[in-house]
Amino acid sequence: MKTTKQVLCRRIASCILAAFIAAGSSLDVMGQAVRSDYEIQRGFKEEYKAISDSIELVESLKEAKMLFERVKRLEDGYKSHDNLLNKVLHPDTFKGRLTDLKRRTITIQRRMATIEYQENKLIRLNDRLAFYGDHLDRLNTRSDSLREAIRQSVNSEKELSGLVRQYRESLEKRDDLILSFVDSIMVAYDQMDFQSVENLEKVRQQLRVDAGGNALAMVEGIVRENIAFLKSNPKISTEEYLRMNAVQQQFEKMWNSLGGKITSIYAEKSDEAREQMNKAIEEWDEQISQKTWASLNRAVSETGIDLPEFNNSQEFYNVLNGFLDNSISSSKEKATEEGYKRYKQFNAFWTNQIKAEWSAFLDQGDVLSNRQMASIDQKLDDWAVNAVPESNNILVYLLGASVLALVVLGVMLAREKNYNRS
């Protein structure tokens, strides 16, 4: 019974709705009946102009879609007057005007879709940057407090070495995080069509306000922290300096590639901000370069290898090459015990230290490229062939000959014994 009532109610509601729609249609027909041709063409022209003007003002995909629907309604509403409109719009046509509007609204729909996609991507990136920012702040704080603890430490050597180990781990994690940040920012910003995003001032404003994910603020923070850290003259190993140098180089490459995009989005005065950052990154570069080369010079001299001082990549490579060329040449002239000792010393430093522990940082930090290292490897092999002293060679040959003679003699004796038994 209840169901029947519900069905009845629904039918009545449907009838009322249908009546309203019919009345609306009828009114519409009546409305059209007293429209003159002049009003029809004026109505079409006004709506065409309104849609055409609105296309320039569209700010969202939703608006673009609504506009496309409006174009379709315009077409449906006026297609019965196409002959009249063709005369009025000459040399344009009704169909031509509609095609033009559709094309423009479809273009704006696509553009808005791209912008919204970029906008979402940028917002997601900002969330990720915010995460990096928090994490980096925590690691910086931890590194600072550990450094302070080490400075003030009056505890046992064991505890101190524990603190130093933690401090180094913390620095390493921080550098890894900066590299991850650089990778993320490179991938995300490089693929982005900033031409479309730049048109959306509101997105830029939103991103500028959202300091948590402000890429420019993060870049500034990282650079500032690193400069301050380096100016504090930290007592860290050559490997750590090389790692920090590699981080700086990667960071600088990222900035050179994306600095313009980042400042155009996040800074009010783009050029000014970029100039400031360029200077700061240059200072970071100077600081890390100076300390890395000093540390590397120290590390070389500590091994006892006598190399001239070097202060940049090219000088370092030239010094190594010069040293190897001279050593090879000397060995070729006369291989001495002293020369052989120097070879072993250099080989140990090159193989166990430079290649085993530093090679990745050398390449990333533009200290020595993999190609240059391969070239040095080749020269080292050449030196190895010529480094062994001749006296030693004769002894080796004599020893070899003696062993061979003993083996032959042993074999012959064994065969003799077997023969006698049989």
The angle subtended at Cα 211 by Cα 209 and Cα 212, nearest 5°, is 135
Single residue of 38, 201, 419, 420 touching other proteins by CB under 8 A:
38
- C-alpha distances (whole Å) from 127 to each of 113, 133, 134, 152, 392 are 21, 10, 11, 38, 67
Choose one: 30-38, 105-113, 136-144, 400-408; the region binding other proteins (CB under 8 A).
Answer: 30-38
Other CB atoms within 10 Å distance of the CB of residue 192: 18
Q: Taking CB under 8 A as the rule, does residue 209 contact other proteins?
A: no
Single residue of 87, 124, 231, 298 touching other proteins by CB under 8 A:
87
Q: Taking CB under 8 A as the rule, does residue 123 contact other proteins?
A: no
What is the rounded CA–CA span in Å between residue 125 and residue 358? 32
Q: Which of 123, 118, 117, 112 has the alpha carbon at shortest distance from 207?
A: 123
Single residue of 1, 2, 3, 34 touching other proteins by CB under 8 A:
34
CA dihedral of residues 408, 412, 414, 415 (deg, nearest 10): 140
Min dist. Cβ of residue 84 to other proteins (A): 7
Choose one: 5-13, 82-90, 229-237, 352-360; the region binding other proteins (CB under 8 A).
Answer: 82-90
Residue type, 325: D
In the bound state with other proteins, the residue whose beta carbon lies nearer, of 55 and 84, is 84
Q: Taking CB under 8 A as the rule, does residue 35 contact other proteins?
A: yes
Give 316: exposed, middle or buried? Use CB within 10 Å, 0-12, 13-18, 19+: buried
Q: For the chain, how big is the Rg over CA atoms in Å?
A: 40
In the bound state with other proteins, the residue whose beta carbon lies nearer, of 25 and 290, is 25
Q: Is the peptide bond before 91 cis (omega within 30 degrees of 0)?
A: yes
- Do 218 and 226 form a contact (C-beta atoms < 8 A)? no
Q: Taking CB under 8 A as the rule, does residue 88 contact other proteins?
A: yes
Q: Taking CB under 8 A as the rule, does residue 79 contact other proteins?
A: no
Q: Taking CB under 8 A as the rule, does residue 33 contact other proteins?
A: yes
Min dist. Cβ of residue 35 to other proteins (A): 7
- Do 64 and 58 form a contact (C-beta atoms < 8 A)? yes
Map residue 335 onto helix, strand or coil.
coil
In the bound state with other proteins, the residue whose beta carbon lies nearer, of 34 and 209, is 34
Min dist. Cβ of residue 271 to other proteins (A): 49
Q: Which of 214, 198, 187 has the alpha carbon at shortest distance from 261?
A: 198
Q: Which of 342, 356, 252, 239 has the alpha carbon at shortest distance from 298?
A: 239
Q: Taking CB under 8 A as the rule, does residue 41 contact other proteins?
A: yes
Q: Taking CB under 8 A as the rule, does residue 91 contact other proteins?
A: no
Q: Taking CB under 8 A as the rule, does residue 37 contact other proteins?
A: yes
Q: Taking CB under 8 A as the rule, does residue 152 contact other proteins?
A: no
What is the rounded CA–CA span in Å between residue 357 and residue 355? 6
Cα 280 to chain center, whole Å? 20
Min dist. Cβ of residue 46 to other proteins (A): 14
What is the rounded CA–CA span in Å between residue 365 and residue 304? 25
Single residue of 52, 70, 82, 84 touching other proteins by CB under 8 A:
84
In the bound state with other proteins, the residue whose beta carbon lies nearer, of 81 and 243, is 81
In the bound state with other proteins, the residue whose beta carbon lies nearer, of 42 and 151, is 42
Single residue of 1, 2, 4, 36 touching other proteins by CB under 8 A:
36
Map residue 154 onto helix, strand or coil.
coil
Q: Taking CB under 8 A as the rule, does residue 76 contact other proteins?
A: no
Single residue of 1, 29, 57, 154 touching other proteins by CB under 8 A:
29
Q: Taking CB under 8 A as the rule, does residue 39 contact other proteins?
A: yes
In the bound state with other proteins, the residue whose beta carbon lies nearer, of 34 and 374, is 34
Show the site string, 239-278: x = touches other proteins by CB under 8 A, - = not: ----------------------------------------
In the bound state with other proteins, the residue whose beta carbon lies nearer, of 39 and 333, is 39
In the 8-state DSSP scheme, what is residue 157? H
Min dist. Cβ of residue 92 to other proteins (A): 14
In the bound state with other proteins, the residue whose beta carbon lies nearer, of 29 and 374, is 29
Non-local CB neighbours of 51 within 8 Å, separated by 6+ positions:
67, 70, 71, 74, 101, 105
Min dist. Cβ of residue 44 to other proteins (A): 11
Binding site for other proteins (CB under 8 A): 29-30, 32-39, 41, 84, 87-88
